């Protein structure tokens, strides 16, 4: 569909809108996005608006609200909040939709928009559709209300059963993001534990990605120094989580996924597994009597699949964990669920010893020119077809061998192609890694000007 404005269409991603401020995304774009989103939802739509801690988010919020008002919407300003809080507000108020101004874990120069509804899951198709609307003025019918949902959201977190086990010492890293304003209430939420908080002041100039090693160094040192039982890192908009054990070791999210599965799965439950996750996650789900369903990476895509399959739980390698009882991904909610599970064990070692050993690479990021990343993936698909190599193309390229698999996919949010491989044993993994290395060399060659 051809858009009716000069907005750069490259900012429309698989499941949100995201770009670099001053380059392909302008603060003023918020106006048009607001007016079109409101008209897509219908006459007098009730719409919640929230924003994260990025420097330009308040300016964009102002433009979004102006656009929503142009289209006659009833606007509920949630203000500075995490993405899960915006989703929660949309449910609580029974709004027609919600707009979260955020670029999630992307660096500080990025910003963007996530869209939420209790009835519609927004991915590229829906976003492109409403951005193609020729907006018409409905000025005169709009309203603007401010809404503080912190108390209600904290109440939801307090209601998660955390058992009567031993007292934990917990280190929290808020990545200077939107969850900083919630973690100040953590003693109220989890009163029977000892909490240490770091990076818990709002700073929109920080890199809010907890998966990056350099962003975890302070949490690791804090966890060791204070002899904490667990360290928990949250991303900039609060929907992702990363966990550190008492020794300061990062718990790979494949293992974290299996800990959740082991702790909450009941026979017959369906679990959505993103394509990047270990094959042993799916094996564990099956062994426990559940049904594993592989899905394309992406929070809105996984939400859609959860609804379609009536799944109980879902997880992504990136640290998004989705719970059917709340209907979305929430880093703090996931962290409290994890603490509840850990109450039943002496330490991480005791639970990890019950899980299968993994022989798997980390997610390898290969920096690619933005305009080339999908072209390269498509070219590699053609090369594989010419060699009669069978592969899955539901999300990039996944080649499955008798002893393991390898994956190559273009990131939907950053200028990377990501790669990963796994083997059944250490020897199998080495074989898979050698094959993957050849593909990585090919990608780098194709990326040259």
* Catalytic residue annotation: 104
Q: In the Cβ-directed half-sphere of 99, how many Cα atoms lie within 13 Å?
A: 36
Distance, CA of 195 to CA of 379 (rounded, Å): 50
Distance, CA of 305 to CA of 300 (rounded, Å): 9
Residue count of the chain, please give it.
449
Measured N-to-C along each axis, helices 124-131 and 29-41 cross at an angle, to the nearest 10 degrees, of 100
Measured N-to-C along each axis, helices 373-386 and 426-447 cross at an angle, to the nearest 10 degrees, of 120
Do 322 and 314 touch, CB atoms closer than 8 A? yes
Distance, CA of 356 to CA of 158 (rounded, Å): 32
| CA-based torsion, 177, 181, 185, 187: positive or negative | positive
At 404, list the tokens: 């393991």
Q: Which residue has the tokens 């999630």?
A: 104
Distance, CA of 31 to CA of 62 (rounded, Å): 8
DSSP 8-state class, residue 292: E
Measured N-to-C along each axis, helices 279-287 and 253-264 cross at an angle, to the nearest 10 degrees, of 10
Phi, psi of 325 (to 5 degrees): -65, -20
| Strands laid side by side in the 328-329 sheet | 291-295, 270-274, 313-315, 321-323, 328-329
Distance, CA of 226 to CA of 39 (rounded, Å): 53
Do 363 and 372 touch, CB atoms closer than 8 A? no
């Amino acid at each position: 569909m051809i858009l009716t404005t000069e907005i750069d269409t490259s900012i429309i991603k698989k499941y949100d809108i995201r770009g670099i401020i001053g380059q392909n995304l302008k603060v003023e774009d918020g106006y048009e996005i607001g007016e079109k989103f409101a008209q897509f939802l219908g006459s007098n739509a009730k719409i919640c608006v929230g924003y994260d801690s990025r420097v330009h988010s308040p300016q964009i919020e102002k433009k979004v609200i102006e656009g929503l008002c142009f289209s006659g919407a009833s606007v509920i300003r949630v203000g500075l909040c995490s993405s899960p809080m915006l989703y929660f507000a949309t449910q609580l108020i029974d709004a027609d939709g919600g707009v979260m101004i955020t670029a999630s874990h992307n660096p500080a120069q990025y910003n963007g928009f996530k869209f939420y509804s209790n009835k519609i899951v927004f991915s590229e198709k829906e976003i492109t559709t409403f951005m193609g609307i020729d907006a018409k003025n409905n000025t005169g019918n709009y309203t603007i209300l401010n809404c503080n949902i912190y108390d209600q959201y904290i109440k939801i977190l307090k209601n998660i059963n955390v058992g009567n086990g031993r007292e934990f010492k917990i280190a929290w890293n808020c990545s200077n993001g939107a969850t900083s304003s919630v973690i100040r209430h953590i003693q109220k939420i989890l009163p029977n534990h000892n909490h240490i908080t770091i990076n818990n002041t709002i700073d929109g100039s920080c890199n809010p990605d907890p998966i990056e090693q350099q962003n975890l160094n302070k949490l690791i040192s804090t966890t060791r120094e204070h002899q904490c039982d667990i360290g928990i890192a949250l991303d900039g908009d609060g929907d992702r989580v990363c966990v550190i054990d008492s020794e300061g070791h990062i718990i790979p999210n494949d293992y974290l996924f299996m800990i959740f599965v082991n702790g909450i799965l009941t026979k017959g439950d369906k679990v959505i597994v993103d394509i990047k996750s270990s094959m042993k996650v799916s094996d564990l789900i099956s062994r426990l009597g559940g049904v594993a369903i592989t899905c394309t990476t992406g929070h809105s895509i996984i939400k859609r699949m959860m609804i379609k399959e009536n799944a109980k739980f879902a997880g992504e390698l990136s640290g998004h964990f989705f719970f059917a009882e709340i209907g979305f991904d929430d880093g703090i909610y996931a962290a409290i669920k994890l603490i509840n599970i850990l109450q039943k064990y002496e330490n991480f070692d005791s639970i990890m010893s019950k899980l299968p050993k993994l022989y798997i690479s980390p997610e390898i990021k290969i920096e690619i020119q933005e305009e080339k990343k999908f072209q390269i993936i498509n070219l590699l698909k053609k090369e594989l077809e010419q060699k009669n190599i069978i592969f899955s193309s539901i999300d990039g390229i996944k080649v499955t061998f008798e002893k393991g698999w390898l994956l190559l996919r273009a990131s939907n949010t950053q200028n990377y192609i990501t790669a990963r491989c796994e083997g059944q044993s250490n020897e199998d993994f080495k074989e898979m890694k050698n094959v993957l290395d050849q593909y990585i060399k090919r990608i780098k060659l194709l990326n040259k000007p």
